[in-house]
């Protein structure tokens, strides 16, 4: 298993733990993954919801909580720590600034194309932080668009790119039609993205790793996708059922007890489909039932709380706290594979063992 290099950062275990909001991946999970040589990621989405006064001061609470979690993670690990910030949140700039002030190692940017973000960051802060930027895309075309825009406008490119396929948990960058009769293969997406990114590697004389995510659960999945040219993998679902994951026990049990048929799609107020584990709340949403929304903060840029069917931040936060009558858990298509709660170390050791077993299997296949 080769180390993953992102600029001057080296992760000896090429596994990135996907950032999981709301309050699923915080300092506990992120530091545990970083301690195993991977990249641990704190999700900034709705991170302040446990702070007192959140309803009145959501921006301040998010900033305070993010700073606190980054500092806690640093105390628990000297490994590589990242944050995940969705373009769709209305306090994106605030959260990115806090992360840079805290010299976060990597900023993973999802749910939107980060074309102009560098323009709004103080150049001094940008260079002092040393932070690496890694956008998440769902196609080679989107990757090219971002990289070309950065190259033309800023004379630099992102430090890596995550390409995520249709099997992932959380918000998805595909239409529901594409997800329902999925012909999109992550293997092909990675291959196409590697080709596009190679042109920028040549132009800038640097290495830009392509990282694959979405439906990667076992070491075999990892070995398979690395054959398409991925230099690392991003896993979210797999890390939910770890001891160190910051979410409630009920949330983890929801994963342990689900079956493949329970994993379904909803339309999220973010404007993207989301993959969730079904329950009565989800069924009501799917039937078009309106859930009361009282919104004091407008956390999503595009959300009009008078028109949306339910509040996604509240639903995810409730589930994170173990309240499934008023919420649901995001989960990838492989969530049903969870068989028990393991520590992060046990999980990563298992993935590595599966990875090496798969490599051995391929090496020992007869050649015709
Ligand atoms: C419970 C859960 C919450 C998630 N929350 C976020 C989020 O807040 N922002 C984001 O960009 N991605 C989010 N994701 C996506 C993950 O970061 C990661 O890209 C994805 O889980 C990879 O696919 P997998 O679940 O099949 O491993 C979430 C995924 C899960 C399972």
Share of the chain above pLDDT 70, in %: 98
Q: Above 70 in pLDDT, residue 181? A: no
Share of the chain above pLDDT 90, in %: 76
Check if 313 has its Cβ closer than 6 Å to any atom of ligand 1: no
Ligand 1 atom closest to the Cα of residue 45 is: 8
State the distance from the centre of ligand 1 to the C-alpha of 177, rounded, in angstroms.
Answer: 20
Check if 314 has its Cβ closer than 6 Å to any atom of ligand 1: no
Burial 32-46 (b: 16+ CB within 10 A, else e): bbbbbbbbbbbbbbb
Q: How far apart are CA 142 and CA 232, in angstroms?
A: 19
Beta-sheet pairing, 106-110 with 132-137? parallel
Residues 6 or more apart in contact with residue 54 via CB below 8 angstroms: 48, 61, 297
* Residue in 15, 16, 17, 18 to alter for ligand 1 test, most ligand atoms within 8 A of Cβ: 18
Q: How far apart are CA 141 and CA 118, in angstroms?
A: 20
| pLDDT number for residue 299 | 84
The Cα angle at residue 356 between residues 330 and 5, in degrees rounded to 5: 70
Q: Let me know if 151 is exposed, middle or buried by CB neighbors in 10 A (0-12, 13-18, 19+).
A: middle
The Cα angle at residue 332 between residues 328 and 333, in degrees rounded to 5: 115
Which residue matches tokens 């969870």? 338
Rounded to 10 degrees, the C-alpha dihedral 26/297/312/234 comes to -30
Alpha carbons within 13 angstroms on the beta-carbon side of residue 232 total: 26
Check if 30 has its Cβ closer than 6 Å to any atom of ligand 1: no
Residues 6 or more apart in contact with residue 353 via CB below 8 angstroms: 219
Where do the DSSP E strands lie in the chain?
4-6, 9-11, 15-17, 39-43, 80-86, 106-110, 132-137, 161-164, 170-171, 210-213, 232-235, 263-267, 273-277
Q: What is the pLDDT of residues 351-362, one digit of tens each?
A: 999 999 988 877
Backbone angles phi, psi at 163, to 5 degrees: -110, 120
Check if 330 has its Cβ closer than 6 Å to any atom of ligand 1: yes
Check if 137 has its Cβ closer than 6 Å to any atom of ligand 1: no
| pLDDT number for residue 294 | 82
Q: What is the pLDDT of residues 278-333, one digit of tens each?
A: 999 999 999 999 887 888 778 888 878 888 888 899 999 999 999 999 999 999 99
Q: Which CATH architecture has domain 4-248+345-363?
A: Alpha-Beta Barrel (3.20)
State the distance from the centre of ligand 1 to the C-alpha of 213, rounded, in angstroms.
Answer: 9
Ligand 1 atom closest to the Cα of residue 19 is: 17
* Residue in 96, 111, 166, 170 to alter for ligand 1 test, most ligand atoms within 8 A of Cβ: 170
Sheet bearing 263-267, strands edge to edge: 170-171, 273-277, 263-267
Q: With bands split at pLDDT 50, 70 and 90, how would you rate the model's confidence at 270? A: confident
Nearest CA to ligand 1 atom 13: 20
Q: Where are the domains of the chain?
A: 4-248+345-363, 252-320
Check if 263 has its Cβ closer than 6 Å to any atom of ligand 1: no
State the distance from the centre of ligand 1 to the C-alpha of 18, rounded, in angstroms.
Answer: 5
* Contact by Cβ (8 Å): 40, 81: yes
Check if 214 has its Cβ closer than 6 Å to any atom of ligand 1: yes
State the distance from the centre of ligand 1 to the C-alpha of 20, rounded, in angstroms.
Answer: 5
Ligand 1 atom closest to the Cα of residue 43 is: 8
**Range of weakest confidence among 46-50, 190-194, 258-262:** 46-50
Nearest CA to ligand 1 atom 1: 330
Nearest CA to ligand 1 atom 16: 18
Check if 85 has its Cβ closer than 6 Å to any atom of ligand 1: no
pTM of the model: 0.95
Q: How far apart are CA 300 and CA 123, in angstroms?
A: 26
Backbone angles phi, psi at 330, to 5 degrees: -70, 145
State the distance from the centre of ligand 1 to the C-alpha of 171, rounded, in angstroms.
Answer: 7
Backbone angles phi, psi at 24, to 5 degrees: -95, -50
Backbone angles phi, psi at 194, to 5 degrees: -60, -40
| pLDDT number for residue 182 | 66
Q: How far apart are CA 213 and CA 20, in angstroms?
A: 13
Q: How far apart are CA 211 and CA 209, in angstroms?
A: 6
Which residue matches tokens 């994963």? 255
Greatest extent of the chain over all pairs of C-alpha atoms, in Å: 68
* Residue in 236, 239, 282 to alter for ligand 1 test, most ligand atoms within 8 A of Cβ: 236
């Amino acid at each position: 298993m080769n180390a993953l290099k992102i600029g001057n950062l080296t992760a000896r275990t090429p596994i990135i733990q996907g950032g999981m909001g709301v309050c699923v991946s915080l300092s506990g999970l992120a530091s545990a993954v970083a301690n195993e040589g991977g990249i641990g990621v704190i999700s900034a989405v709705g991170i302040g919801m446990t702070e007192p006064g959140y309803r009145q001061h959501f921006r301040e609470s998010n900033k305070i909580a993010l700073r606190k979690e980054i500092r806690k993670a640093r105390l628990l690990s000297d490994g590589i720590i990242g944050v995940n910030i969705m373009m769709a949140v209305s306090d994106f700039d605030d959260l990115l600034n806090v992360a840079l002030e805290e010299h976060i190692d990597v900023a993973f940017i999802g749910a939107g194309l980060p074309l102009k973000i560098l323009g709004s960051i103080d150049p001094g802060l940008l260079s002092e932080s040393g932070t690496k930027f890694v956008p998440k895309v769902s196609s080679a075309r989107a990757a090219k668009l971002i990289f070309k825009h950065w190259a033309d406008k800023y004379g630099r490119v992102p430090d890596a790119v995550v390409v995520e396929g249709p099997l992932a948990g959380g918000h998805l960058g595909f239409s529901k039609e594409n997800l329902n009769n999925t012909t999109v293969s992550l293997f092909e997406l990675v291959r196409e993205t590697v080709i596009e990114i190679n042109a920028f590697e040549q132009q800038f004389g640097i290495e830009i790793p392509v990282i694959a995510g979405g439906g990667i659960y076992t070491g075999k999945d990892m070995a398979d996708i690395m054959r398409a040219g991925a230099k690392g993998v991003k896993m979210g679902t797999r890390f939910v059922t770890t001891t160190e994951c910051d979410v409630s026990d009920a949330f983890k049990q929801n994963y342990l007890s689900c079956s493949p048929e329970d994993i379904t799609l909803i339309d999220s107020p973010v404007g993207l489909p989301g993959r969730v584990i079904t329950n009565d709340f989800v069924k009501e949403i799917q039937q078009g039932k309106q859930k009361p929304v009282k919104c004091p903060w407008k956390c999503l840029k595009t959300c009009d709380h008078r028109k949306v069917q339910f509040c996604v931040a509240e639903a995810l936060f409730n589930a994170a706290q173990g309240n499934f009558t008023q919420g649901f858990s995001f989960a990838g298509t492989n969530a049903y594979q969870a068989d028990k709660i393991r520590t992060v170390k046990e999980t990563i050791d298992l993935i590595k063992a599966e990875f090496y077993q798969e490599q051995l299997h391929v090496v020992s296949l007869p050649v015709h």
